[in-house]
Amino acid sequence: MSARAGSTTPDSEESSERDTLRIVVPPKQSKERLDIYLTHQVENATRNKVQRAIQAGLVLVNNKKVKPSHQVSPLEVIDITFDRPKYPEASPENIPIEILYEDEELLIVNKPAGMVTHPAYGNYSGTLVNALLYHSGRLSKVNTELRPGIVHRLDKDTSGLMVVAKTDSAHHHLAKQFSRRTIEREYVAIVWGRLKQPRGTIEASLGRSKKDRKKVAVVSDGKHAVTEYEVLEQFDFLSFVRLKLRTGRTHQIRVHLAHVGHPVFGDPTYGGRNDQWGGMEGKKSQKAAKLLNLISRQALHAKTIGFVHPVTKKQTKFDSEIPDDMKSVLAGVRQ
């Protein structure tokens, strides 16, 4: 387990080898086994790891040792002690990456689906950063040693364009544009269902799900988030859409589309892998199942990125091809 849950409080009087985490159970929390509850609440937790921690006395409920089967109740205080993980430095790895553009200040990379952006707990190798370090010995050092050059991220299973800073000056310029929301980002996605309007705006605040801290949800006290969409093609039970971000929240597009009843096709986290979506059955359900077999992830691609170049000050824009797995789904649904 990693000591990084969303609504938890770290103990400020920790030793150099361990961290503690405090979770206060919400007032409306229903009865649930402690091991299951913590698996959903703590980042990088598995039920097996949680059970071992509880049995070792590293988890206290209201300052008492309990069993994994303990039923969590509202307002209980759960204290968890963690061995502090060791974070190694990111190492260069000879991993092929597609670079669309590069100069002395920045580069544009087309990240494939399945690649994590930067090393983190459980993923210290095989990431985009590992590949970038091998490709270029010059990346900005504004972030930690595990995130050199990284100005923004894409989800592991979202493909598409990213801008990477090679100098600290370029990093600051680009980060400022992201902060001011002047970066142009355009995505394409295949979504379930037929949207009622050809274009529209989804505006809903996002935050960590209170039921599962590993997920993002629409919450009243979350961060403001706005997504614009335009329907490019409509099919029997799917739509091909273009999306623009006004804000850049974690999982924003995926959660917003699921919120309005049109989850991204193939998305395992937010309801996109059900071949009986919307009550479909018979031939439609069979066709949906065949199409789902063509893609193992959410059908979402960051197609375009535009910004003001930090040195030339010229508006710069890059575009990319739709990846093969999404092309296969579109070809199949067009038949």
Catalytic positions are: 155
What is the distance between the alpha carbons of residues 230 and 190, in angstroms, rounded to a whole number? 12
The token duo for 118 is: 């930067």
| Main-chain phi, psi angles of 94, to 5 degrees | -80, 80
What is the distance between the alpha carbons of residues 294 and 271, in angstroms, rounded to a whole number? 17
What is the distance between the alpha carbons of residues 52 and 56, in angstroms, rounded to a whole number? 6
Q: DSSP class of residue 88? A: P
Residue 211 vs residues 7, 39, 208, 258: alpha-carbon distances, Å: 12, 11, 9, 16
3-state helix, strand, coil in the chain (%, to 5): 20, 30, 50
Reduced to 3 states (helix: H, G, I; strand: E, B; else coil), residue 277 is helix
What is the distance between the alpha carbons of residues 41 and 212, in angstroms, rounded to a whole number? 6
What is the distance between the alpha carbons of residues 301 and 281, in angstroms, rounded to a whole number? 28
Which runs of consecutive H residues, i.e. helices, occur in the chain? 34-41, 47-55, 128-135, 168-179, 252-259, 282-292, 324-334
